[in-house]
Amino acid sequence: MCRYVKYTNTTSQLMYVAQEHSIYGSSRVGVDNRKDTLYMGAVYTPTWGGVGTSRRALGLKSFELANHLGNILVTISDKPIYNVSSGTIYFQPEITSISDYYPFGAPIQGRSYSSSEYRFGFNTQEKTDEISGTGNHFTAQFWEYDGRLGQRWNVDPLAHKMPFASPYNYCLNNPINMVDPDGRIPYPITIRGFAPFKEFGFGFHGDGRGYSTGNVSARVHQKINFDTDKTTMTTTAWSSPTWKTSDPSNKKTAIPSVNFTGDFTIKQNGDNKTFGFGSHVAAANPLTPPGTPNIDIFSNFSITENKKAGTLSISGSLRGDNFPSTEAFITDPAGKNLFIGIGQIAAGVDKDWGPLKELPFENTRPITSFNLTVTTDKNGNFTGVQQGKTTYTLDAWNKLFTSKPTQKTK
């Protein structure tokens, strides 16, 4: 993306001058604020270089440092700051803006710096400071949003698909776990590594809650923001607090790593639209020494949507450590959760040497595979499940998973 101004110079020549160039990787990563003449006097005349020449002006580029939701917290320039300490030369980044937000996007007072100099912020969207003051209003493709109210200014164009929610809501009032880059409705997929029983080796407690699609604890959570109306995806990861049973006050939270593996593919065949993608999430127990092996979970999905037939066919697999156990489910626009698959409880989890045996290395052992077809209504909400020749209600399908045994293995 390039922003430019159009004007006539002193010699009456029509000119277009670039004011800003967006810098892209897999998404926008920053902005280049060079001002370059692109077009003058009916001739294309870019000024940023010529034959056999190049130039670089430091300090005109800004790069975004964002959190798992895409909220831009810090921007830094490409100009290093030179320092000398005790005879050692080192460089520091030049910080050009700092912003921090309340959950729904309102700026936290006293925790910002030069935020008006960078025009993107909460949810990666453009700030519209002239409407409600610095950092209070944002503009996206399909919505205008006030972070102080946590509400859109305009009615959601897809509100007819969400009769259960306010047409002015943002992220179904769940901005901690969800983002809304362009106002469409996702089918988020949740993958969790957890211990369904109360305790296991080294005196660590488990989650003690069996298999569940509810808002419950897990060693590592991953959410894939999948949407059949989009051509890109995002994924986030977090961890529930971990503590030893001998000292419940000693709680720490792991910092998971998460990324997509391979390409995100979309193939159209008649009424069928097939999406292919994979991911990897990993987290180590924060109460154990540095270097403790991660729990690794690799996912691989192929999802085919047929809006005309009202079906969502889901197939794929989970691989990794499965220690102590793994579960995955998908959510419809109405907020109903449907199990995709679970891993059987890994062997050895009740023994002190269990983690030392099961977790080392980046394992890709089979956890579970799945192949099911979900029926949907005209609003995309789940109505049932078909597997082979058997049809299930949503409750009956989920009970196939929640009824699995959760005791420790011997």
Q: How far is Cα 410 from Cα 386, in angstroms, rounded to an integer?
A: 35
How would residue 327 be classed by pLDDT, with cut points 50, 70 and 90?
very high
Q: Mean per-residue pLDDT for 164-181?
A: 71
Instruction: Name the pTM for this structure.
Output: 0.60
Comparing 34 with 385, the larger pLDDT belongs to 385
Q: How far is Cα 272 from Cα 309, in angstroms, rounded to an integer?
A: 9
How would residue 409 be classed by pLDDT, with cut points 50, 70 and 90?
very low
Looking at residue 247, its pLDDT comes to 73
Looking at residue 145, its pLDDT comes to 76
Chain mean position to CA 386: 29
Q: How far is Cα 62 from Cα 117, in angstroms, rounded to an integer?
A: 10
Instruction: Tell me the pLDDT tens digit for each residue of 243-291.
Output: 776 677 777 888 889 999 988 999 999 999 999 999 999 988 787 777 7
Residues 221 and 16: beta-carbon distance below 8 Å: no
> What's the angle, vertex CA 140, arms to CA 135 and CA 144, rounded to 5?
65
Q: Mean per-residue pLDDT for 110-120?
A: 68
The beta strands (E) that lie in 88-241 are given as 88-98, 126-127, 137-139, 144-146, 151-152, 189-194, 199-200, 204-205, 220-225, 234-238
Q: Mean per-residue pLDDT for 318-332?
A: 89
Residue 299 scores a pLDDT above 90: yes
Chain mean position to CA 297: 16
Tell me what the pLDDT averaged over the chain comes to.
79
Instruction: Tell me the pLDDT tens digit for each residue of 101-110.
Output: 888 877 787 7
Q: How far is Cα 398 from Cα 211, in angstroms, rounded to an integer?
A: 10
Looking at residue 182, its pLDDT comes to 58
Domain spans in the chain, listed from the N-terminal domain onward: 1-57, 67-184, 185-402
Residue 303 scores a pLDDT above 80: yes
The beta strands (E) that lie in 270-348 are given as 272-283, 295-306, 311-320, 325-331, 337-343
Residue the block writes with tokens 């009970």? 399
